[in-house]
């Protein structure tokens, strides 16, 4: 099929419709519980392969019960509630319950160690944490340092280790609850994102941000939810290995899938290529979001997937790092589905990407635009994107600059995708914007070139944050953890180029007096970080150095070390 290009028409005809009152729980669950209560919402697959199907009616009933239980614990409108669980049914229930209370959900990765949990819980002033067996030990280790955390609600295998057990708490409550009427601008989610200076920042996301996500989600999933007249297509089933604690798993997978009343697969356990293919076959997955790292692993493990698996894929979205020509060709040729690359941030997600044209019921080409391998794509409808120079002016086409999003769309209407601001950090919030507050650009910190046709081509970060295997890494938190070890006087973390993962986490370490470099010490330091932060954050390589490059004001020049690693990579071929 020749792919059509309806890009200009889509943008010209697009208008935002943001109601004054809007609540994620209502649009993602309550309305479906009223209209189609028996429709499947969550397909939960356990480690042993067993599957439990949960309907929208069940999701709503449990959310009502949990909302009542949380209210009994003192949770009120605006309060933060931590959710430290993987892709399980109770995670979805927790989100819906918190939103309908008017409270703020704070998803935390089950990979976080005690230090990472302690900082986020204390900084957010979370009063309640909902946790299962994957994280209960780390949360219990952090709790003595979290005086504001009033209650732990224990789920699944964590039962008996918290203040209240999930099953007992829900059984004691009524399956009826009157939701709070929230404004579209009210806070819904608090997600901590790594920064280059200081500790992680909490991005406060409003209910309206879900609306802002939808054009990109629908387009990147080749018109998710659309069903041409007379079509006999099977129901849409979504799956992604992306953790629901991250923006990618929550805003790119779980919530938009529920918004359309479709099914999403929740899977426990680690990602493995063969398991991923088997899961997509078992559940007849039609739409997915797969990091480039996952796609590379799948490509190497199963070069001819359609010879081994019966797949129903209609769309693949990928984000987190550049897809590259090889992965693009694999998706197109081996999987039969062109991959739609996407770019966004926690603060404002789903900004730029692609939409491969699909085939309608009558065989005609549906709206879309052709992808250019290696490109980030074009701005999704509703978003006004530009590449800015240091002074805040738009760069000429072909000139690299900072990718930025305007407060208003091309028609002058407010873009709902924007975050509210960084939690308790107005200085960092203000620093994201350039120009008059009401007519300003929000900088992403990512460098790119825009070509003559509006496609963006990625050049790298403008600060020291980097991505490794799809995870966004902030050096500061890792460096702080390393320095806590007795053997470390100072440390700097930079990306080391890697052909498989895009980059590896590398640490330059200055030893404290009385300690000597050794392979044993390297292993100790790696284990130290792995035990306190997330596994993907520990330095895969450590190099001991006499002194770190510093500015005259005493700041570490990570850029010097980053360039050194890039030069070594080039010299090594």
Q: How many residues does the chain have?
A: 573
Based on the fold, state whether residues 436 and 504 are members of the same structural domain.
Answer: no
Structural domain includes residue 430: yes
pTM: 0.86
Helix (H) or strand (E) holding 107: strand 104-107
Structural domain includes residue 35: no
Structural domain includes residue 456: yes
Domain of residue 537, CATH code: 3.30.300.30
Helix (H) or strand (E) holding 122: helix 114-124
Structural domain includes residue 562: yes
**Ramachandran angles phi, psi of 526, nearest 5°:** -60, -45
pLDDT in tens, 346-372: 999 999 999 986 545 444 446 788 888
Structural domain includes residue 359: no
Structural domain includes residue 132: no
Based on the fold, state whether residues 529 and 499 are members of the same structural domain.
Answer: yes
> What is the C-alpha to C-alpha distance for residues 336 and 324, in angstroms, rounded to an integer?
17
> What is the C-alpha to C-alpha distance for residues 536 and 568, in angstroms, rounded to an integer?
23
CB–CB of 158/86 below 8 Å?
no
Chain centroid to CA 4: how far? 30
| Beta strand residue intervals within 437-511, DSSP E | 441-450, 456-461, 466-468, 471-473, 488-498, 502-511
Q: Which of 461, 489, 505 is the last residue of a domain?
A: 461
Structural domain includes residue 455: yes
Based on the fold, state whether residues 567 and 490 are members of the same structural domain.
Answer: yes
In a 3-state reduction of DSSP, which class is residue 369? strand
Based on the fold, state whether residues 436 and 517 are members of the same structural domain.
Answer: no
| Helices 519-532 + 114-124 axis angle, to 10 | 40
Based on the fold, state whether residues 417 and 484 are members of the same structural domain.
Answer: no
Based on the fold, state whether residues 523 and 443 are members of the same structural domain.
Answer: no
Q: Which of 429, 461, 493 is the last residue of a domain?
A: 461
The pLDDT of residue 317 is 96
| Helices 519-532 + 475-483 axis angle, to 10 | 120
Bridge partner residues of 506 (DSSP): 494, 541
Based on the fold, state whether residues 472 and 420 are members of the same structural domain.
Answer: no
For residue 255, CA distances in Å to 51, 202, 248 come to 21, 20, 10
Based on the fold, state whether residues 483 and 448 are members of the same structural domain.
Answer: no
Based on the fold, state whether residues 496 and 428 are members of the same structural domain.
Answer: no
Domain hosting 411: range is 383-461
In the chain, the number of structural domains is: 2
Q: Which of 393, 426, 461 is the last residue of a domain?
A: 461
CB-count burial class (<10 Å; 0-12, 13-18, 19+) for 333: exposed
Based on the fold, state whether residues 480 and 515 are members of the same structural domain.
Answer: yes
> What is the C-alpha to C-alpha distance for residues 27 and 260, in angstroms, rounded to an integer?
8
Give every residue of the chain whose pLDDT is below 70, as ranges. Answer: 1-3, 194-198, 227-233, 357-366, 437-438, 460-463, 551-555, 573
In a 3-state reduction of DSSP, which class is residue 334? coil
For residue 414, what are its two tokens? 């407010």
For residue 381, CA distances in Å to 5, 196, 355, 402, 443 come to 14, 31, 11, 20, 19
Side-chain-side CA neighbours of 277 within 13 Å: the count stands at 19
> What is the C-alpha to C-alpha distance for residues 417 and 434, in angstroms, rounded to an integer?
17
Based on the fold, state whether residues 413 and 472 are members of the same structural domain.
Answer: no
Structural domain includes residue 440: yes
Token pair 């770190």: residue: 548
| Beta strand residue intervals within 305-388, DSSP E | 315-318, 339-343, 352-353, 378-379, 385-388
Based on the fold, state whether residues 481 and 559 are members of the same structural domain.
Answer: yes
Going by C-alpha positions, the residue among 501, 500, 445 that lies closest to residue 474 is 445
The pLDDT of residue 456 is 94
């Amino acid at each position: 099929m020749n792919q059509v290009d309806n890009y200009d028409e889509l943008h010209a005809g697009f208008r935002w419709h943001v109601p004054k009152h809007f609540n994620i729980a209502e649009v993602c669950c309550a309305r479906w519980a009223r209209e189609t209560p028996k429709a499947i919402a969550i397909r939960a697959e356990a480690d042993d392969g067993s599957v439990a199907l949960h309907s929208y009616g069940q999701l709503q009933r449990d959310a009502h019960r949990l909302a009542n239980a949380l209210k009994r614990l003192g949770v009120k409108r605006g309060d933060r509630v931590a959710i430290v669980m993987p892709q399980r049914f109770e995670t979805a229930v927790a989100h819906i319950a918190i939103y309908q209370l008017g409270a703020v959900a704070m998803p935390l990765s089950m990979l976080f160690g005690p230090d990472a949990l302690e900082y986020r819980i204390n900084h957010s002033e979370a009063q309640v944490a909902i946790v299962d067996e994957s994280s209960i030990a780390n949360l219990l280790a952090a709790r003595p340092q979290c005086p504001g955390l009033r209650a732990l609600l224990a789920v699944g295998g964590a039962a008996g280790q918290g203040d209240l057990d999930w099953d007992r708490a829900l059984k004691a409550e009524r399956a009826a609850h009157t939701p709070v009427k929230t404004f579209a601008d009210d806070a819904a989610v608090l997600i901590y994102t790594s920064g280059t200076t200081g500790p992680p920042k909490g991005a406060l996301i409003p209910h309206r941000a879900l609306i802002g996500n939808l054009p990109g989600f629908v387009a990147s999933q080749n018109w998710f939810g659309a069903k041409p007249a007379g079509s006999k297509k099977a129901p849409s089933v979504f799956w992604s290995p992306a953790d629901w604690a991250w923006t990618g798993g929550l805003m790119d997978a779980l919530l938009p899938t529920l918004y359309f009343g479709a099914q999403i697969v929740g899977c426990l356990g680690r990602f493995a290529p063969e398991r991923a293919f088997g899961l997509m076959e078992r559940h007849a997955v039609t739409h997915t979001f797969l990091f480039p790292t996952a796609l590379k692993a799948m490509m190497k493990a199963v070069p001819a997937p359609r010879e081994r698996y019966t797949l129903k894929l209609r769309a693949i979205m990928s984000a987190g790092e550049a897809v590259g020509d090889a992965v693009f060709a694999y998706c197109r040729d081996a999987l039969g589905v062109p991959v739609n690359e996407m770019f966004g941030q926690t603060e404002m997600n789903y900004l730029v990407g692609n939409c491969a044209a699909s085939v309608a019921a009558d065989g005609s080409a549906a709206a879309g635009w052709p992808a250019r391998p290696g490109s980030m794509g074009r701005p999704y409808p509703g978003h006004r994107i530009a590449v800015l120079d240091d002074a805040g002016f738009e760069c000429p086409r072909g000139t690299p600059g900072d990718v930025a999003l305007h407060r208003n769309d091309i028609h002058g209407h407010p873009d709902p995708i924007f975050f509210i601001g960084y939690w308790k950090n107005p200085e960092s919030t203000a620093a994201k914007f350039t120009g008059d507050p009401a007519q300003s650009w929000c900088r992403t910190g990512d460098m790119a070139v825009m070509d003559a046709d509006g496609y963006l081509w990625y050049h790298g970060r403008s600060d020291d944050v980097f991505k490794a295997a799809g995870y966004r890494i902030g050096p500061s938190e890792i460096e702080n953890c390393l320095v806590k070890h007795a053997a470390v006087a100072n440390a700097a973390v930079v990306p080391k180029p890697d052909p498989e993962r895009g980059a590896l986490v590398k640490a330059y370490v200055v030893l404290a007096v009385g300690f000597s470099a050794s392979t044993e010490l390297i292993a100790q330091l790696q284990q130290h970080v792995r035990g306190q932060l997330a596994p993907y954050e520990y330095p895969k390589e450590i190099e001991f150095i006499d002194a770190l490059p510093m500015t005259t004001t005493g700041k570490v020049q990570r850029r010097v070390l980053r360039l050194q690693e890039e030069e070594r990579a080039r010299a090594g071929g």
